[in-house]
Amino acid sequence: MRVVVTGACGFLGSRLAGELLRTRTLAGVPITRLVLADRVVPPPDSVLVADPLVDVVHGELTDRLGEVFAEPVDVLFHLAAAVSAECEADIDLGMRANVDTTRALLDAARAQSAAGGPSVRVVFSSSVAVYGSHPETPLPAVVSESTLPTPRSSYGTQKLVCEHLIADCTRHGFLDGRVARLPTVAIRPGRPNAAASGFLSGIIREPLAALPATCPVHPELRAALSSPRRAVAGLLRIAEAERGAGPGRLHGPLPVNLPALTVSVAQMLATLRQLAGDAVADLVTIEPDPAVEAIVGSWPAVFDNRRAAALGLEPDPDFTSLVRDHLIDRTGTP
C-alpha cells in the first residue's frame, strides 16, 4: 500500500506520519511506501525522513503532483492548507492553497482511476469552521453533521467548497472521499501560527514556558477542542472505516465531525492556575480583539458526537488531560 500525507511537516501531518511509521500498516494492510509531501523542507535529522519506508516530495504541491502520483496512490491524507486568519487577510492565498490545490489533487486521483489504477481513498482534514452563527441564522444549541454549514470566514468557506468537490468526485466514482471535520486542536507546540484559534494553545503553552500570552477573546467564550493524539486517531479511523450500514461503518456521504471537548476560556485558565499556580496563570492578559472574536465566536462549541462514537471515537475527558498531554510531549513527563 502506497500512502501519501500532504502537509507532512506540519503539526498534525508529522504526528500522523509518525503513527503510520510506528504501525507500518493501515486497515490491516502493510504500508510499502509512505510519501511525505510539504512545501517546507523537513529537518535533516528528522526520524521520519531517515526511515527507509519514506519518500519525501518537497515544494508546491501543484508543481509536484507528478512525483506524488509517480506510482499508484492507495490512500491520500490531505492536510496541507492555509489557516484561518491568513485566509481572512488574503483570500487569494486561501483560494490557491486550499481550493486550487485540493482540486488539483482530486484531478490527479481521478486521472489515476481513469487510467486503470486503484481508486484513491482521499481523507480530507476539514474544519468545524464550515459552520457559522449569525443573528439571523443562529446555530442550534448542539451541532451535528445534519446541521446546515453556513461559514462566516473565508477559511470555512474554502473548506466547505473542498468538501463538496470531494463528495461529487466520490458520487461519480472517481475516488473514495472521506471528510473529517476537526475541532480546534490544542495544545499545539512550537511557535504561534496564523490560525485565528491559535490563542487557544498560546494561553497555555506560553505561560507554561514562562512567557506572557494575550487572550484576544472574552473568557466566557466556549470552544470545541481535541488533543493532537485524538485528532490523529480520528483521521486514521475514518481512513480505515468500511462503508455501509451498521456500527463502525461510514454511513452515506456525510462528513464526520471528530469528537470535541467543550470548554470555556475561563475554564482553561482556571485549569492552568490549578495545575501551574498563580504566577504562571497571571502571565495571561485578556485583551479582546473583535476580528478574532468574530471568527472564533462564530464557530459552534457543542457537538452531537454520536456519529464519531459509532466509529469508536470519543472526546478527551477534560481539559486537564490536554494540558498533561502537552507537558508529556514537551518534557517527557507529566
What are the catalytic residues?
Answer: 155
How is residue 98 annotated by DSSP? I
Query: Cβ contacts of residue 136 below 8 Å, gap of 6+?
Result: none
E strand residue ranges, the chain? 2-6, 25-26, 29-30, 33-38, 54-58, 75-78, 121-127, 176-182, 184-185, 213-215, 222-226, 242-243, 249-250, 256-257, 261-264, 284-286
Look-up: residue for cell 502493510? 30
Look-up: residue for cell 507528478? 66
* Residue 211: Cβ-neighbour burial (10 angstroms; 0-12, 13-18, 19+): exposed
Nearest to 8 by CA among 37, 43, 32: 37
d(CA 163, CA 178): 9
Nearest to 308 by CA among 197, 203, 230: 230
